[in-house]
Amino acid sequence: MTRPTGSALRLTVFVGEHDTWHHKPLYSEIVHRAHAAGLAGASVFRGIEGFGASSLIHTSRLLSLSEDLPVAIVIVDTEERVRAFLPQLDELVTEGLVTLDACEVIRSAEGEKSP
């Protein structure tokens, strides 16, 4: 696993929390593939409200009929490593949004472990 500093690329994938890949959550498959590809890290964030191409608003508010909340998977690594991972997303993400943003990593370190 790499720990980039300096210039990097942020990959964000927006899907629904109920989107699946072979009967398991799509966001989980993306995270596991990113891990297997040796990317620096991936995080999944669950939205509380949003809409996409369908223009249907999904919300977590009580009494709402929609429960398929938006999910964002965020991965940050070097541009080369992120771009090398994109073909896997072509296979996985049939509906949703995939974005790339240039970013700068200021700090990428694990906390010190006590003996």
Backbone angles phi, psi at 35, to 5 degrees: -65, -45
b/e per residue 27-58 (b: at least 16 CB within 10 A): bebbbebbeebebbbbebeeeeeeeeeeeeeb
Say what the pTM is: 0.81
Tens-place pLDDT, residues 95-113: 889 999 999 998 766 654 4
pLDDT tens, position by position, 80-93:
999 999 999 999 99
What does pLDDT average to over the chain?
A: 85
d(CA 70, CA 96): 10
8 A C-beta contact, residue 11 and residue 84: no
